[in-house]
Amino acid sequence: MLSAEQYIESLRDVKYKVYLFGELVDNPVDHPIIRPSINAVAKSYELAGEKQHEELMTVKSSLTGKRINRFTHLHQGCEDLINKIKMQRLLGQKTAACFQRCVGFDAFNAVDSVTCEMDHELGTDYHKRFRDFLLQVQEKDLVVDGAMTDPKGDRSLRPHQQADPDLYLRVVDKRSNGIVVRGAKAHQTGALSSHEILVMPTVAMGEEDADYAVSFAVPSDSPGITYIYGRQSCDTRKLEEGTMDVGNCRYGGHECLVVFEDLFVPHERVFMCGEYSFTAALVERFAAYHRQSYGGCKVGVGDVLIGAAALAAEYNGAAKASHVRDKIIEMLHLNETLFACGLACSGQGAPTASGTYLVDMLLANVCKQNVTRFPYEIARLAEDIAGGLMVTMPSEKDFRHPLVGPLLEKYLKGVGDVPTEHRLRVLRLIENLTLGAAAVGYRTESLHGAGSPQAQRIMIQRQGNLEEKKKLARIIAGIEKE
């Protein structure tokens, strides 16, 4: 397995074609806006190398028997699913940001089970191809970007009906040695922290959409791939001197629009090509795994936000107020409820035909539905406790200024024995988590990540077995015999 330092150095060999603020970036690894997200991924390598976290962060590979980073593992039981959630909470606590390896992790497990079933039914060899790819990922300890979301264009139209056919990624040519694809993947978390990209279809396809039913893996710097870096609120603060105004002094996350311009993919890296009848299973399983993930990662970040709110209350001199204590209790209640949902869908997992375990899909969708709501209330309560200074305080440059700095030191003081700077730093952290760059990985992403709230509600309806519940009621009411 790689160390954190080896991981960072390995990215220097990946020749990304990335645009940020209208300019081609020569050195993404050391760019001050991009580097915090790389630091967050590096934390997953750092913790894997620490004895105290070894059982959580690493596991014996089901393919080789060697110890690997858990983020490259195929779940072999409910214990693996539960440890995944615990690992994600730990990383959320350590980074207070999106650590970006979950999407690829969830994609591995979804693609593994679906390709196995494709091979059994169709006689293809996709499953072997995928496992050969995953063996390389495990052996080299790679980060893989799981790429599902297409731009989608007009949401009322199917992929093949779009005025611009490239608004869903598709196969544009089939050759004797591979395929050529064109399109884009949007909102790609951790794309510039990844060595490889694992592409999946974004919706269930019909026969007319067969060209869009495609899954494959390619190196992140393959010819034909362009990255356009997504903006975040307060992102240019990372270009300034000092760390206080950034809030999170070291870690962050990022998203990119990833454009595929007539990209060639060799056959051995293709895991679906036209088998549209299997797209629904792949999309639903990936979504279930990823909705499970939010019961871990968002909870860990929530732990930091709750801690910051409690510190703000102390520094403001309001920690003993009954209404403040009650608000913190509510934040704890909401956060642990999310964790309970993540554990529940993991503990009710079951094996698929490939041997890889799948979460309980109903409970995974319930987990994510709660995530679309509870972090907003946790953030609101944190902002309430923090007070208005969180969004009105002057800059760190003012605080360091020889003339106005002493005025800020004097008039922004809270509790007497707490340095003013400590108070301001905690408020900036709360701002970062609720309004700033980290809000992408906590507040707003809690709503849209792993699918919109309506997507979970559709799956809850499908998985809820309402007819069985109606039958139970008929029996109890004496309408029907048991």
Question: Active site residue: 275, 284, 396, 445, which one?
Answer: 445
Q: Do residues 217 and 271 make contact, with C-beta atoms less than 8 angstroms apart?
A: yes
Q: For 357, phi and psi rounded to 5 degrees? A: -85, 140
Distance between CA atoms of residues 79 and 291, nearest Å = 18
Token pair, residue 355, equals 């041997």
Phi, psi at 51, each rounded to 5°: -55, -40
Active site residue 356: no
Looking only at the bridges linking them, the beta strands covering 270-273 and 214-219 are antiparallel
78, 102, 116, 367: which one is catalytic?
102
CA atoms of 11 and 481, how far apart (whole Å): 65
Residue 294 annotated among the catalytic residues of the structure: yes
Residues 6+ apart with CB under 8 A from 364: 288, 289, 291, 292, 345
Catalytic residue among 255, 275, 284, 383: 255
Residue 37 gets the label, from left (phi > 0), alpha (psi -120 to 50) or beta, of alpha
216 contacts 265 by C-beta, under 8 angstroms = yes
Distances (CA, A) of 249 to 37, 229, 450: 12, 21, 27
User: Which among 143, 250, 165 has a CA at the least distance from the CA of 211?
Assistant: 165
430, HSE (Cβ side, Cα atoms, 13 Å): 28
Q: Is 78 a catalytic residue?
A: no
CA distances from residue 99 to 87, 104, 450, 478 in whole angstroms, order as listed: 11, 12, 15, 54
CB atoms within 10 A of CB 239: 11
Instruction: Answer yes or no: 273 catalytic.
Output: no
Place of tokens 């495609």: 214
From residue 40, alpha-carbon distances to 192, 305, 373 in Å are: 12, 17, 25
Out of 189, 202, 352, 372, pick the active-site residue: 189
Name the burial class of residue 155, with classes exposed (0-12), middle (13-18) and buried (19+) by CB atoms within 10 angstroms of its CB.
exposed
In the block, tokens 């050195």 appear at 27
* Residue among 115, 279, 290, 434 flagged as catalytic: 290
Residue pair 245/36 in contact by the 8 Å Cβ criterion: no
189 included as an active-site residue: yes
411 catalytically annotated: no
Which of these is catalytic: 78, 273, 297, 367?
297
Q: Is 290 known to be catalytic?
A: yes
Which residue, among 256, 318, 178, 181, has the nearest Cα to 19 in the 3D structure? 256
Contact 81, 347 (CB under 8 A): yes
What is the spatial distance between Cα 191 and Cα 258, in angstroms, rounded to a whole number?
8
How far apart CA 443 and CA 433 sit, in angstroms, is 7
Instruction: Reply yes or no on whether 255 is catalytic.
Output: yes
The DSSP symbol for 202 reads S
Query: ∠ at Cα 192 (370, 438), nearest 5°?
Result: 40
Residues 6 or more apart in contact with residue 468 via CB below 8 angstroms = none
Q: Catalytic residues, which ones?
A: 98, 102, 189, 255, 290, 294, 297, 445
